[in-house]
Structure 1
């Protein structure tokens, strides 16, 4: 890329108080084997040395924008507005990529002209057991594509290369959502075109307990339900293809799963909130009521009822 032509890919990086990790994220972009990119970093009102660390990186392909703290969706939307590339990749300031990610995802989109999104596998670094193992997602371009995508967010935000026009046509990120804003965008983009998979683990998500949005399980479950139901309201053709009863069942099953995860782990406040939320929306089955109805009791009484009882099924 020369100094005047638009890059092939715009990498977009929101940053808020990520001074401990942003240098590693920047280095993973600089190390890409595909080098026709620009990196648009939006410092979202950081109070640490994040901006100084970014500014110290003198590569001319890196642009640093600054704003008062407005949240990750606002930061990403500002980066989208500033992007010059025909394709977008998203990398948060505490995550990183394998050196071939842009090369492999770009080649996949080149080979599938009708596709809007290329996605790859990832690893959740810092989680114990199976949750922290490398994972390659399925090929979602199957006969059950709608069901796969409606079940849950199909990939983390940094495991995707997407055409810029598709993101802008979908309206970018919903700034009213505290979580699942990426899921809402991917559903909208996927409704407009094909997906292509790169079956390699190329993206790495850092779990470090630093106040990440996904740590709030109640908010995450509520936001996912909101995203799914709003998407079906905008796209009744998806519900028709799936069958309205099945589509509703997929959404409710996800809400129940998140509710029981909190319940069996004895995160009582989250479980109580989510049981009430699911009950009000008709998402519970008769068998769920023995667990859900006590959530309507005062919390101290509910806690006493659970003491020594009702353990997770084997």
Structure 2
């Protein structure tokens, strides 16, 4: 392939000294040659700084900042990059060598493609979990969920047009989803390469795990920020909201049928009776 447009691979890093070298090596080993690799140290601990110091001669640029969160780290990395294409890579994940080449081929072949992702191998410390395939597609597939991996490729000009990643959302997470909504609401699609080219690590204390408790808050934030988009899709919004309520109701009914729930009810019944007598 004629490596024409320059690619910037941005790797935000926060206390990832156990994983950052594998992420950097996966960027270095990409078969797409016209690239730069920028690591953003987001206020990491001393162990991580020591690893980054050792890796610095291998990469294009190391940016050091106080801890400000992933979105700000990504934006700062992109601001100091020179690439026509951007790939964000979390420091505990890694790509297979041909991802960037195949992603750029897809973008250059079809002007309608704004985002490129791929099949993903999800794993944790004990080994492989599964092979996950993102939905991809147009804005309709992104209204109520993120349909591309957070580490996906896009064009720099789309990042500039959207004003970068939302820097308030790290409190809630899902800055990737909100960013993709921003890109696709003016048209275009997210393309899914039909190969397993990305390795995503599931960690118990990761941001992804923490934000599961804030689903309604994060969804509210996104709807209000993109209110015009959801007004245009009001019927789909109401349908999705009702389906969520139905699922929640089914879960409640399922829980009331569990043996431990029934046992708890039986144990509490005498105390509730005594309490009613005291009133």
**Structure 1 and Structure 2 fold alike (TM over 0.5):** yes
Aligned with 1:44 (options 42, 45, 50): 42
Q: Once the 2 structures are TM-superposed, how far is the Cα of residue 13 of structure 1 from its aligned partner? A: 1.0
TM-score after normalising by structure 1: 0.72
- Alpha-carbon shift at residue 40 of structure 1 (Å): 1.2
Q: Partner residue of 1:214?
A: 209
Unmatched segments (≥5 aa) in structure 2: 267-279
> Is the contact made by 1:24 and 1:96 (CA closer than 8 Å) also made in structure 2?
yes
Note if 1:123 corresponds to 2:121: yes
SS of 1:120's equivalent? strand
Name the CA shift for 1:132/1:304 in 2 (closer, same or farther; >3 Å): closer
TM-score using structure 2 length: 0.80
Query: Aligned pairs, how many?
Result: 258
Q: C-alpha distance in 2, partners of 1:166/1:22? A: 27
Q: Is 1:25–1:93's contact at 8 Å kept on the other side of the alignment?
A: yes
Relative to structure 1, the CA distance from residue 9 to residue 92 in structure 2 (aligned partners, 3 Å threshold; closer, same or farther) is same
Name which of 68, 71, 76 aligns with 1:70.
Answer: 68
Question: Does residue 307 in structure 1 map to residue 272 in structure 2?
Answer: no
8 Å contact kept, 2:38–2:60: yes
Q: 1:172 aligns with which of 164, 168, 183?
A: 164
Distance 1:110 1:128, change over 3 A: same
Structure 1 portions without partners, runs of 5+? 1-5, 267-289, 291-302, 310-314
SS in 1 for 2:75: helix
Structure 1 equivalent of residue 13 of structure 2? 15
Partner of 1:200: 195
Asked which structure has the greater CA Rg, the reply is 2
Residue 148 of structure 1 is matched in structure 2 by 141
**CA distance in 2 between partners of 1:55 and 1:121 (Å):** 33
206 and 245 in structure 1: CA distance in 2 versus 1, 3 angstrom threshold? same
Q: Secondary structure at the match of 2:71?
A: helix
1:185, CA displacement in angstroms? 0.3
